[in-house]
Structure 1
Amino acid sequence: MKTDKRKTGSFLALLIQNYVGFTLTILCILALISAVINKGFERRLDLPSTSVLEENEGLLEAGSYDKFPYKKVLGKRGDFAVLDEDCKVVYKSSDEMETSFTAAELYCIPEMTLWEFTETTTFTNQEGKKQILVKRYGQIPSQDGEMYKETESFMILDENYKVLTNTMDFPAKRLGERELQYMTDSVSKKYGYQKHVFTGEDGRKYTAVFKYKKIDDPSYRQIVSALERLWLLTIPLYIIVVAVFVLKLNRKVKVPLTSLSRTITQYQQGEKPSNEYRGPNEFVEIGDDFVRLANRLNESEERRLKADRDKQKMLADISHDLKTPITVIQGYARAICDGMIPEERREQYLRTIYLKSSALNELINTFYEYSKLEHPDFSPTLKRENICEFAREYLAAKYNEIALAGFDLEVDIPEEPLFCDIDAQQFRRVFENIIANALRHNQEGTILRFKIAAEGNSIKITISDNGKGIPPEIADVIFEPFTVGDESRNSKQGTGLGLAIAKKIVKSHKGYISLSKKPEKGMSTEFIIWMKMGETLSET
Structure 2
Amino acid sequence: MINKYKGIRVKRGSFINTIVRNYIIFSALLIVLIYAVAYLTSYNTYESTIDNGVKKLASAYREADDLDKVKYQKYIGNGSGVVILDRSGKTVYIKGRCPVKTFTQDSIKLIPKNDEIVDVDIHTSTRGDGEKVLFIQRRWTTDIYSEYIDSADTDVLDTKHNVIYSTKFPDKTKYTNDEYKVLTGKFGKDISIIKTGLRLDGKKYTLVAFQKLDMVSAMNRRERNTLLIVAGTIVAYVLMILIFSRLITRKVKKPVNALERAMSDVSQGKTGGLIVYDGPTEFVDMCDSFNVMSKKLEESEKENQAMRDAQQKMISGIAHDLKTPVTVIQGYAKAINDGLVDDQEKYLKTIEEKSQRLTELIDEFHQYAMMNRPDLKLNIETVDICEYTREYLAGRYPEMDIEGRHLSLDIPDDCIPVRIDKSRFNRVYNNIVNNYLKYCGENSTFYCSIYQRDDKAVITLGDDGPGIPAEVRKTIFDPFVKGDSSRASGGSGLGLSIARDVVRGCGGNIILTDYPADPMKTEFVITLPVWQEEGEDRSSRRTDAGSGEEK
Shift in Å, 1:223? 6.3
The answer for unaligned runs of 5 or more in structure 1 is 47-94, 97-183, 194-212
Q: Distance in 1 between matches of 2:439 and 2:272?
A: 44
Provide the residue aligned with 2:475 in structure 1: 477
Paired residue secondary structure (1:415): coil
Partners in 1 of 2:281 and 2:365 — Cα distance?
Answer: 53
Shift of the alpha carbon at 1:525?
Answer: 1.7
- Write out per-residue CA displacement over residues 208-233 of structure 1, whole angstroms, 9 at most, x where no aligned residue: xxxxx9xxxx9874565245322332
Seen in structure 2, the aligned counterparts of structure 1 residues 188 and 446 have a Cα distance that, compared at 3 Å, is farther
What does residue 525 of structure 1 align with? 522
% identical equivalent positions: 35
Q: Classify 1:516/1:236 alpha carbon distance in 2 versus 1 (closer, same or farther; 3 Å).
A: same
Instruction: Name the structure 1 match of 2:257.
Output: 258
What residue is the counterpart of 1:23 in the other structure? 27
Counterpart in the other structure of 1:396 = 394
Verify the 8 A CA contact 1:264 1:273 in the aligned structure 2: no
C-alpha distance in 2 between matches for 1:471 and 1:31 = 88
- CA distance change for structure 1 residues 384 and 33 in 2, over 3 Å: closer, same or farther? closer
What is the CA distance between 1:379 and its match in structure 2? 2.6
- Are the equivalent residues in 2 in contact too, given 1:421–1:535 (CA < 8 A)? no
Aligned residue for 1:147? Answer: none
Alpha-carbon distance between aligned partners in 1 of 2:245 and 2:346, rounded to the nearest angstrom: 94
Q: Which moved more, 1:459-468 or 1:376-385?
A: 376-385
Contact 2:482 2:488 in 1 (8 A): no
Q: Given that residues 384 and 415 in structure 2 are in contact (C-alpha distance below 8 angstroms), is that contact kept between their aligned partners in structure 1?
A: yes
In structure 2, C-alpha distance between the alignment counterparts of 1:422 and 1:269, rounded to whole Å:
41
Q: TM-score, normalised by structure 1?
A: 0.62
Determine whether 1:312 maps to 2:322: no
1:13 paired with 2:25, answer no
What is the deviation of 1:236? Answer: 1.9
**1:185 to 1:506, Cα distance in 2 relative to 1, 3 A:** closer
Mapping of residues 295-334 of structure 1, within 5 Å: 295-334=295-334
Matched residue count:
381
Q: Using the alignment, how far apart are the partners of 1:293 and 1:6 within structure 2?
A: 20
Partner of 1:188: 153
Post-superposition offset of 1:515: 1.9
Asked whether the 8 Å contact 2:49–2:219 carries over to 1, the reply is no
Correspondences of 1:129-278 after superposition (within 5 Å): 187-188=152-153, 221-222=219-220, 224-226=222-224, 228-229=226-227, 230-267=229-266, 268=268, 270=270, 273-278=273-278
3-state DSSP of counterpart to 1:233: helix
Kept in 1: contact 2:418–2:528 (CA 8 A)? yes
User: Superposition pairs for residues 444-459 of structure 1, below 5 Å?
Assistant: 444-459=442-457
1:327–1:36 CA distance, 2 compared to 1 (3 A): same
* Equivalent position of 2:375 in the other structure: 377
1:316 shift after superposition: 1.3
For residue 314 of structure 1, report the CA deviation from its aligned partner.
Answer: 0.7
Structure 2 Cα separation of the partners of residues 325 and 15 of structure 1: 76
Hey, what does 2:417 align to over in structure 1?
419
**What is the identity, as a one-letter code, of the residue corresponding to 1:359?**
R
How far, CA to CA, are the matches of 1:269 and 1:514 in structure 2?
A: 35
Structure 2 unmatched ranges of 5 or more: 1-5, 51-104, 107-148, 156-166, 169-194, 196-215, 539-551
**Contact 1:469 1:525 (8 Å CA) reproduced:** yes
Change (3 A) 1:398 1:257: same
Normalised to the residue count of structure 2, the TM-score between the two structures is 0.61
**2 CA distance for matches of 1:186 and 1:30?**
32
Once the 2 structures are TM-superposed, how far is the Cα of residue 401 of structure 1 from its aligned partner? Answer: 1.9
Change (3 A) 1:392 1:249: closer
Relative distance call for 1:322 and 1:19 in structure 2 (3 A) is same
Q: How does 1:98-137 map to 2 (within 5 A)?
A: none
Whole-angstrom CA distance in 1 between matches of 2:391 and 2:483: 31
Give the letter aligned to residue 22 of structure 2. Answer: N
* Contact 1:41–1:223 (Cα < 8 Å) also in 2: no
The answer to whether the 8 Å contact 2:30/2:237 transfers is yes
**Contact kept? 2:271, 2:298, Cα under 8 Å:** no
Helix, strand or coil at the partner of 1:420 = strand
Residues 508 and 526 of structure 2 are in contact (CA less than 8 Å); yes or no, is this contact kept in structure 1? yes
Structure 1 equivalent of residue 511 of structure 2: 514
* SS of match in other structure, 2:438: helix
Q: What does residue 531 of structure 2 align with?
A: 534
The 1:355/1:269 distance shift into structure 2, 3 A limit, reads closer
Question: Take 1:404 and 1:189, find their aligned partners in 2: how far apart are those partners?
Answer: 148
Where 2:466 maps in the other structure, the secondary structure is: coil
Aligned residues of 2:428 and 2:502 also touching (Cα < 8 A): yes
Aligned-pair distance for 1:324? 0.8
Worse overlay, 389-398 or 515-524: 515-524
What's the counterpart of residue 336 of structure 2? Answer: 336
Q: How far apart are the structure 1 equivalents of 2:477 and 2:154? A: 113
Give, in whole Å, the separation in 1 of the partners of 2:346 and 2:270.
Answer: 61
Q: CA deviation at 1:42?
A: 4.6
SS of aligned partner of 2:451: strand
1:41-52 aligned at under 5 Å gives the runs: 41-43=45-47
Separation of aligned partners in 1, 2:262 and 2:381: 54
CA distance in 2, matches of 1:316, 1:488: 21
Instruction: Report the AA paired with residue 235 of structure 2.
Output: P
Aligned CA distance change for structure 1 residues 489 and 516 (closer, same or farther; 3 Å): closer
Confirm whether residue 352 of structure 1 aligns to residue 350 of structure 2.
Answer: yes
